[in-house]
């Protein structure tokens, strides 16, 4: 047994085993103590389920592709540049944009937890938080990319950015050839969440 006495058991083991009931128990206890407002929880969920997500990041990328001055500002000080577009706040207090080039492909991970640029990409997908991605992306990024269907030329270096501090990274993908006629919103529609993490490329429309 891991614990000789019940008093040594970690507090979390006192909660119900089913995770959905565990949340209910915590929410109910904190509400009864006056420490949380359930309507505030609804509001947090509404914001991250429907308002803050990868469309924000895609708008930044499309603007960088079409506005050279903005691209320059984004690469120099992304925190300021994305704030101009209204994207600020929790888990995006300090942002750096890293540009993919024919010489270097960038890919972002957080090996220690799940750091991710929330104001630009929303809440991270399950795979980003998975042990497999956290463990492997730093050591064998090209094998991981292959699992996303991405194969890079060996001559294109791969840089993996491990988000070990409060700096949050946005990958600025390469603009696909054959998109000269597209406007900013059509370009934004091409940019996937994964392309801004660095596990996908942006393709021209078929």
Partner 1 sequence: MTRVHDMGGRFGDGPVQPAAGDAPVFAEEWHGRALAVTLAAGALGQWTLDRSRFARECLAPADYLAFSYYEKWLAGLADLLVAQGVVTRDELAGAEAAPSPLAERRLRAESVAGALARGGPVLREGPAPRFGPGDRVRTRRPARNLAVTGGHTRLPGYAAGLTGVVERAHGCHVFPDTNAHGLGEQAEPLYTVVFDAAEVWGAAEAPGDTVSCDLWESYLEPET
- 115 is a catalytic site residue: yes
Residue 169 φ then ψ, to 5° = -105, 135
Active site residue 110: yes
By DSSP bridging, strand 94-99 and strand 104-109 are unpaired
Of 80, 84, 88, 151, the residue at the interface with partner 1 (CB under 8 A) is 88
User: CB under 8 A: which stretch of 40-48, 62-70, 174-182 binds partner 1?
Assistant: 40-48
- Choose between 7 and 183: whose C-beta lies nearer to partner 1: 7
Q: Minimum Å distance from CB 186 to partner 1? A: 17
Mark whether 130 is an active-site residue: no
Subset of residues 137 to 196 that bind partner 1, contact rule: CB under 8 A: 137-144, 147-148, 154, 157-167, 192-194
Residue 102 or 126 having the CB closest to partner 1: 126
Q: Which helix (H) or strand (E) holds 157?
A: strand 157-162
Closest CB to partner 1 among residues 37, 67: 37
Selected catalytic residue, list 13, 113, 130, 185: 113
Q: In 3D, which of 144, 121, 118, 142 has the Cα closest to residue 131?
A: 144
Mapping DSSP onto H, E and C, the string for 17-75 reads CCHHHHHHHHHHHHHHCCCCCHHHHHHHHHHHHHHCCHHHHHHHHHHHHHCHHHHHHHH
């Amino acid at each position: 047994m891991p614990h000789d006495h019940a008093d040594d058991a970690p507090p979390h083991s006192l909660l119900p085993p089913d995770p959905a009931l565990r949340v209910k128990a915590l929410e109910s206890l904190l509400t009864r103590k006056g420490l949380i407002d359930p309507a505030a929880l609804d509001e947090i969920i509404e914001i991250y389920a429907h308002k803050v997500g990868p469309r924000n990041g895609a708008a930044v990328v499309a603007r960088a592709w079409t506005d050279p001055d903005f691209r320059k500002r984004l690469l120099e000080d992304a925190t300021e540049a994305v704030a101009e577009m209204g994207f600020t706040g929790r888990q995006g207090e300090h942002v750096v944009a890293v540009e993919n080039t024919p010489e270097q492909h960038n890919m972002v991970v957080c090996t220690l937890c799940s750091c991710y640029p929330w104001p630009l990409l929303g809440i991270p997908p399950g795979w980003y938080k998975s042990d497999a991605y956290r463990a492997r992306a730093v050591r064998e990024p090209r094998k991981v990319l292959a699992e996303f269907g991405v194969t890079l030329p060996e001559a294109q270096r791969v840089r993996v950015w491990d988000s070990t501090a409060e700096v949050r990274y946005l990958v600025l993908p390469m603009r696909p050839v054959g998109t000269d006629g597209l406007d900013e919103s059509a370009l934004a529609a091409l940019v996937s969440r994964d392309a801004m993490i660095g596990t996908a490329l942006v393709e021209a429309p078929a």
